[in-house]
Amino acid sequence: MKKSNVRLKGKLRTYLYLPLLLTILLVAINVVVYMEDTGTGFMFSGFVVVYFLVMLMSYLRNKPLLIDELINFATQYGTVQKQLLNEFEIPYALIDFNAKFLWVNEEFTAITGKDKKYHKSVMTVFPTLTKELLQRNDTEGTLYVTLNDRYYRVSLRRIYFDSMTENSTILAIDDSSEYLTALYLFDETELNRYMKENEEQRLVAGLVYIDNYDEALDSIEDVKRSLLIALIDRKVNKYFTEIDALVRKIEKDRYFVVFKKQYLEQLREDRFSIIEDVKTVKVGNEMAVTLSIGIGVGSDSYTQNYEYARMSIDLALGRGGDQVVLREGEDVSYYGGKTKQVERNNRVKARVKAHALREVIESREHVIIMGHSISDVDSLGAAIGVYCAARVLGKKAQIVLNEVTSSLRPLVEGFSEEKGYPPDLFIKSEEAILLTNRNTLVMVVDVNRPSYTECPELLKRTDTVCVFDHHRQNREVIENPVLSYVEPYASSACEMIAEVLQYFSENIVLQPHEADCIYAGILIDTNNFMTKTGVRTFEAAAYLRRAGAEVTRVRKMLRNDMSAYKARAEAVRRAEVYRGAFAISVCPADNVESPTIVGAQAANELLNIVGIKASFVLTEYQGKIYVSSRSIDEINVQLIMERLGGGGHLNVAGAQLTDCTVSQAKRIIQDTIDEMLKEGDIEE
């Protein structure tokens, strides 16, 4: 820095100028003296001139000396500060505009091994601190680096030259466009270690349920039952005690588990092998034992972690069991769930739900029923079944149906005013919103995700919501329903409704067309009784047949028009086989009234090809890409669709993709398959 760039200002400048300024006062006095006595005035004028010259010479001589003294003082003061910084316990360094070291203190030298003579780039010590990074406007603040296996927090502060004299009352710098960077290092290795240890010591709560406890015991001799229970207890206790967990049996088929969070990653890597290991327990039982596990973590409260575990086990059971659901705060992860759900022959639950539904309907004057958006035959059939239940109790019921597709039109036309049905049986979402209040029962069928319903707004306008569905639950669920009946092992929502109607009332009578609609829902969702069909499916079909359902009428109503049939054939023709086992195709939506339904039919058709283990048909419709996926038994397509934000069942699932093209959607599906094959979630 040049001395010419340094000038005096403030009080010091005034002090130096004061003798010169006194000349003005002497001149004024001289004028007064002239007026009194001219001779004396001349003498006084000579004095003023001599005084001014002496003061001017003194000013010109003393100003450089004064500046030198000030600079010397500043240098000595800076030397003291430098010494203090040099002995500062916090590692400190000065870096120039080009990211090179200018000066480092002793502590910095002790850590990095670089002394004051080291003037190379900071990248040679910290490779992540590049010149470009340091020169960015948003860099000033805190960064993190590692050196010699230790973690440091780096604090950066810019020092501009003009800021050095900004508050100075005696000095000013005319020109300064560059800056220095002060770098402080804070060793946070121990802090991070303690934080990690504290995090690892957090409580993880878990609930372990035996899914088919009663069914497994019923399948073996009485003398072997205690042995089966003992073997299951031993496997559960051994698995969790290996990670220093506390295991307590709280009921005959339930366990409560507590362990440290540090072992959670170990269980994740192991992919909770206990759910597969327990299936190997065989003492003559025909049915393999399966477990459901719910784990809660991520809260500072022990009570909240237990609540997360309880919510997780409910979700695991709602998805069909034989899996682990891990909830960490708001994030939910799934493990297992690859096997087919076990059908429960005990129909007590259906009877209990029927009586509960009756009580709820009786307590409300108005019932609004809705399924999922772009309703299908199963959704409509289930809604008609609930309508029949409300009718027998004398309650007004209406069905929300925004769009009548070609597949639904033959069914909907059968509920005309001429045939004795109210003209407002089917209503739009706008009308439903106006009719719904806090005293209205909103009945949701064939869906359990609020965003997928025909009118999500209805769920917020009432306190009474009931859910009947056969899809596996996901993270997004309808909150606080007064009655929830979600059975993933059921083939369809119509099967569940048909079971409930048998116990609902002795006076209930289904009209033939009503029975046809419910029967059609079962027929479509089971692909003509070839998928997810159990004993209770045929029992429900038999009940509907006795109620007047006619197979021939149903078949006629479910026939496709020529354009839909051609679209399905085109989708099959276009199919590409990926990895030798996965058929992926695109269903044309032009000139097809219900392209999503045609896409689902095409996915079923592709399974008839030898070697195809799973099929995926993409349909672009209404700004979204709908994915219909199907399999027979080897691939769990529900797990694949969940990766895409959808869901469904082991053999029947789907998803909706937005903000992507059809070709991008195909790539997403292929990448998901590759990823899951690599992780072992699915097998070729």
Check residue 16 and give its pLDDT: 67
Picking from 536, 538, 545, 526, the residue whose alpha carbon sits closest to that of residue 349 is 536
Is pLDDT at 322 greater than 90 in this prediction? Answer: no
Q: Which of the two residues, 138 and 639, has the higher pLDDT score?
A: 639
Please provide the distance, in angstroms rounded to a whole number, between the alpha carbons at the two ends of the chain: 74
Q: Is 37 exposed, middle or buried (0-12, 13-18, 19+ CB in 10 A)?
A: exposed
Check residue 583 and give its pLDDT: 94
Is pLDDT at 410 greater than 80 in this prediction? Answer: yes
> For 363-374, what is the mean pLDDT?
91
- For residue range 114-165, what is the model confidence (pLDDT) as tens digits? 888 888 888 888 888 887 777 776 655 678 888 888 888 888 888 776 665 5
Picking from 553, 613, 603, 609, the residue whose alpha carbon sits closest to that of residue 582 is 613
- For residue range 167-221, what is the model confidence (pLDDT) as tens digits? 555 555 554 556 788 888 888 888 888 888 888 888 999 999 998 888 888 888 8
Residue 19 burial (CB count, 10 A):
15
Which of 3.10.20.30, 3.30.70.120, 3.40.50.620, 3.90.1640.10 would CATH assign to domain 359-557? Answer: 3.90.1640.10
Q: How would residue 428 be classed by pLDDT, with cut points 50, 70 and 90? A: very high
Residues near 290 by Cβ (< 8 Å), separated by ≥ 6? Answer: 210, 211, 212, 275, 278, 279, 321, 322, 339, 342
Is pLDDT at 508 greater than 80 in this prediction? Answer: yes
DSSP state of 343: P
Check residue 423 and give its pLDDT: 92
Is pLDDT at 259 greater than 90 in this prediction? Answer: yes
Check residue 164 and give its pLDDT: 55
Check residue 199 and give its pLDDT: 82
Is pLDDT at 543 greater than 90 in this prediction? Answer: yes
Most confident of the ranges 110-114, 176-180, 308-312: 308-312
Check residue 44 and give its pLDDT: 78
Q: How would residue 395 be classed by pLDDT, with cut points 50, 70 and 90? A: very high
Give the C-alpha separation, 499 to 200, whole Å.
48
Check residue 179 and give its pLDDT: 75
Strands (E), 272-344: 291-297, 323-328, 331-336
The helix (run of H) or strand (run of E) holding residue 382 is helix 377-392
The chain-wide mean pLDDT, for the chain, equals 85
The CATH code of domain 563-679 reads 3.10.310.30
Question: Cβ distance 92 to 180 under 8 Å?
Answer: no
Check residue 167 and give its pLDDT: 56
CA distances to 188, 337, 500, 681 from 395, rounded to whole Å, are 68, 40, 17, 48
Amino acid occupying residue 623: G
Which of 3.30.70.270, 3.90.550.10, 2.40.40.20, 3.30.1490.20 would CATH assign to domain 201-336? Answer: 3.30.70.270
Angle between helical axes of 377-392 and 348-362 (0-180°, round to 10): 60
Check residue 1 and give its pLDDT: 44
- For residue range 58-97, what is the model confidence (pLDDT) as tens digits? 777 777 777 777 666 666 666 766 676 677 788 888 888 7
> For 364-376, what is the mean pLDDT?
91
Q: How would residue 388 be classed by pLDDT, with cut points 50, 70 and 90? A: very high
Check residue 21 and give its pLDDT: 74
Percent of the chain with pLDDT over 90: 37
Strands of the 582-587 sheet, one edge to the other: 576-578, 582-587, 614-621, 624-631, 652-657, 647-648
Is pLDDT at 511 greater than 90 in this prediction? Answer: yes
Q: Which of the two residues, 161 and 380, has the higher pLDDT score?
A: 380
How are beta strands 396-400 and 426-427 bridged, if at all? parallel
Give the C-alpha separation, 597 to 377, whole Å.
10
The fold for domain 89-195 equals Beta-Lactamase (3.30.450)
Structure tokens at 246: 């506390």
